[in-house]
Amino acid sequence: MKKHILFLSVIVSTLITSCHNSASENLMTSDGIRKPKPPKAIGPPRILFIGNSHTEYYVSAPTLFQELCNANNQNVNIQQLVTMGVPLDKVYFTNKTEANQNFSNIDKDGNYYDYVIIQESTPIALTNLSKYRDNLKLFAQKIHKNSPDAAIYVYQNMSPLSYINSEYYNYYKELRKNTILAAAFIKNAGLLRVGDAVKDAYEGKNGYKYLTNNKDNLRDGKSTLHFINDGGFLQAVLLYATIFDKKPIIPKKLILSTGTGDNDCMRKQEVSKTVTDPVALEEIAFSNR
């Protein structure tokens, strides 16, 4: 067993080192994860979200991120390719016409997209590393055609299990490991550390309490747990902090979910009334940038 662990460590070290050599100018996070370097944009940077229901369901990561940017005078152009409940290859084929049109566009600064956030389905990210890599490569090859220097953030999936499940941490560790390994094969790619931030929130970092009257304030669902208002807020602030390397000014209102029922929707609501502890969640997000 020790030999197997040592062998895996050597593989991870070799992969990360080789990627550092090809992109030595990239920054590193405190735990050794490389951070992609964005290209110099002429005009507002263009940001593409690719994923499924963890990108947009009860709350919308692109929408919340856009609102944070607006409130902080960060002029950005946001696009998305999102299909519910499918892995990345199905996201592409479901949106093939739109995707090919987007990927064929050019910009005068040499990169049509400046940032890309790619979110794989949890079953693939958890159990099929080979397909995980292939699906990332599928998009990376198309993105790099007209955005050769785009900063790609691979979404670190959160453990799909309830925090009280005894296997929560095992799933978390496996997803983290697989995301690092998969991202290592992509040029100028790093992690959007959603899984780490969610774990920290569940552990009560910065005084955050995820339970209110035995209700999980971060996620909701039966077969699949999706972000609700606390989780969506955490994810949006994490993305802002990751890209801009600073905390956003939080506006008084954001487009958040009115609930999880069939008749609920996303609409503008007061953050202080719909997010249980925005200050703690902002600190957790910033520490995982």
Spatial distance between the Cα atoms of 100 and 119, rounded to a whole number of angstroms: 18
Burial pattern 82-107, b for ≥16 Cβ within 10 A else e, equals bbeebbbbebbeebeeebeebbeeeb
Spatial distance between the Cα atoms of 26 and 36, rounded to a whole number of angstroms: 6
Identify whether the C-beta of residue 65 lies closer than 8 Å to the C-beta of residue 117. no
- CATH entry 3.40.50.1110 includes domain 36-287: yes
Pairing of β 115-118 and β 34-35: unpaired
**3-state class (DSSP) for residue 218:** coil
Q: Any idea how long the chain is?
A: 289
If you average pLDDT over residues 23-43, what whole number do you get?
72
Between 278-287 and 229-244, two packed helices, what is the crossing angle to 10 degrees?
Answer: 40
The predicted-structure confidence for 49-93, as pLDDT tens digits, reads as follows 999 999 999 999 999 999 999 999 999 999 999 999 999 999 999
Measured between its terminal Cα atoms, the distance across the chain in Å is 33
Q: Is 118 a residue whose pLDDT tops 80? A: yes
Q: Which two tokens stand for residue 98?
A: 């739109």
Q: Is 10 a residue whose pLDDT tops 60? A: no
Q: Is 234 a residue whose pLDDT tops 50? A: yes
Q: What is the pLDDT of residue 32?
A: 60
The predicted-structure confidence for 193-207, as pLDDT tens digits, reads as follows 999 999 999 999 999
Q: What is the pLDDT of residue 105?
A: 96
Q: Is 25 a residue whose pLDDT tops 60? A: no
The predicted-structure confidence for 159-204, as pLDDT tens digits, reads as follows 999 999 999 999 999 999 999 999 999 999 999 999 999 999 999 9
